[in-house]
């Protein structure tokens, strides 16, 4: 990713509404859909600046892996007690058998997503699982995707196809970031036509505190719906997959 993205992540991912809401949603989904384990070993692939570590550590022993020395330096500074491996996909994952491998907003960056998913599969313990999030819908492609060096956005069908090619079976899949989908879709589509909106996208982390709390609450409230059903549309897709 652009180095500016890591700078923003390190500054904002503890408090910004998108990160806060996403962590709460993913925590509940993981608690519900991961297989029970007495001493779960989790590898967070593409861990970035480590913002998911505190949440994941509630579910088991967590280590990280990332290919960016800049991201790893941020993670070591913020979370010195967590081990982080410098590892590029698909060939350099830590040689261990992990109960869970997470890849949150990772495979959309990769030239060879199927090979990378297959590598994750090969590093799973028996009955291990992979938890993934990806951005949804090519129609939402914008300068945000360019800045983050995305190669693609997914549909549920295309994500399931990549997982199947890697000999992984979908256990659970849903969209999320659904309540705000109409607003975000509107901004993304407007940014294709209006330079002023496109320029504003680069400053999207600058959210007034009161408004930030409201958006975090609204986004996180989706977990209440996800406890009962899946969501048919959204800005992102979440999936848990396992060996076939």
The per-residue pLDDT for range 112-170, each reduced to its tens digit, is 999 999 999 999 999 999 999 999 999 999 888 988 899 999 999 999 999 999 999 99
Asked if the model's pLDDT at residue 197 lies above 70, the reply is no
Asked if the model's pLDDT at residue 6 lies above 90, the reply is no
The pLDDT tens digits of the residues spanning 168-184 come to 999 999 999 999 999 99
CA distance linking residue 80 with residue 76, whole number of Å: 5
What does the chain look like in DSSP terms, one character per residue?
--HHHHHHHHHHTTT-HHHHHHHHHHHHHHHHHSPP-SS-EEEEET-TTSTTHHHHTTTSEEEEEES-HHHHHHHHHH-TTS-EEE--TTT-S-SS-EEEEEEET-GGG-S-HHHHHHHHHHTEEEEEEEEEEEEB-GGG--HHHHHTT----B-HHHHHHHHHHTTEEEEEEEEE--TTHHHHHHHHHHHTT-HHHHHHHTTTT---HHHHHHHHHHHHTHHHHHTT--BS--SEEEEEEEE-
The pLDDT tens digits of the residues spanning 31-82 come to 999 999 989 999 999 999 999 999 999 999 999 999 989 889 989 999 999 9
Asked if the model's pLDDT at residue 17 lies above 90, the reply is yes
Beta bridge partner(s), residue 42: 62, 100
Instruction: Give residue limits of the domains in the chain.
Output: 3-243
Per-residue pLDDT, 180: 95
Reported confidence tier of residue 199, pLDDT bands at 50, 70, 90:
low
CA distance linking residue 81 with residue 63, whole number of Å: 10
Per-residue pLDDT, 14: 87
Asked if the model's pLDDT at residue 86 lies above 90, the reply is yes
CA distance linking residue 216 with residue 221, whole number of Å: 8
pTM of the model: 0.92
Asked if the model's pLDDT at residue 226 lies above 60, the reply is yes
Asked if the model's pLDDT at residue 204 lies above 60, the reply is no
| The CATH classification of domain 3-243, taken from the options 3.40.50.150, 3.40.50.2300, 3.20.20.80, 3.30.1490.190 | 3.40.50.150
Per-residue pLDDT, 209: 85
């Amino acid at each position: 990713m652009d180095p500016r993205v890591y700078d923003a992540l390190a500054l904002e991912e503890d408090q910004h509404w998108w990160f806060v809401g996403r962590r709460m949603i993913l925590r509940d989904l993981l608690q519900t859909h991961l297989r029970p384990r007495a001493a779960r070993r989790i590898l967070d692939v593409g861990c970035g600046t480590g913002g998911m570590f505190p949440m994941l550590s509630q579910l088991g022993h967590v280590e990280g892996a990332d290919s960016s020395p800049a991201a790893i330096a941020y993670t070591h500074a913020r979370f010195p007690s967590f081990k982080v491996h410098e590892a590029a996909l698909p060939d350099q994952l830590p040689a261990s058998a992990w109960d869970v491998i997470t890849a949150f907003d990772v495979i959309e960056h990769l030239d060879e997503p199927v090979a990378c998913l297959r590598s994750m599969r090969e590093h799973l313990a028996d009955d291990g699982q992979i938890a993934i999030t990806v951005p949804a819908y090519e129609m939402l492609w914008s300068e945000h995707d360019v800045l983050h060096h995305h190669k693609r956005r997914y549909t549920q069908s295309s994500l399931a196809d990549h997982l199947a090619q890697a000999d992984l079976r979908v256990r659970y899949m849903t969209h999320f970031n659904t309540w705000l989908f109409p607003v975000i879709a509107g901004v993304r589509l407007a940014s294709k036509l209006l330079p002023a909106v496109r320029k504003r996208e680069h400053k999207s982390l600058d959210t007034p505190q009161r408004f930030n709390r409201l958006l975090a609450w609204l986004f996180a409230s989706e977990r209440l719906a996800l406890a009962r059903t899946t969501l048919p549309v959204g800005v992102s897709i979440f999936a848990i997959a396992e060996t076939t």
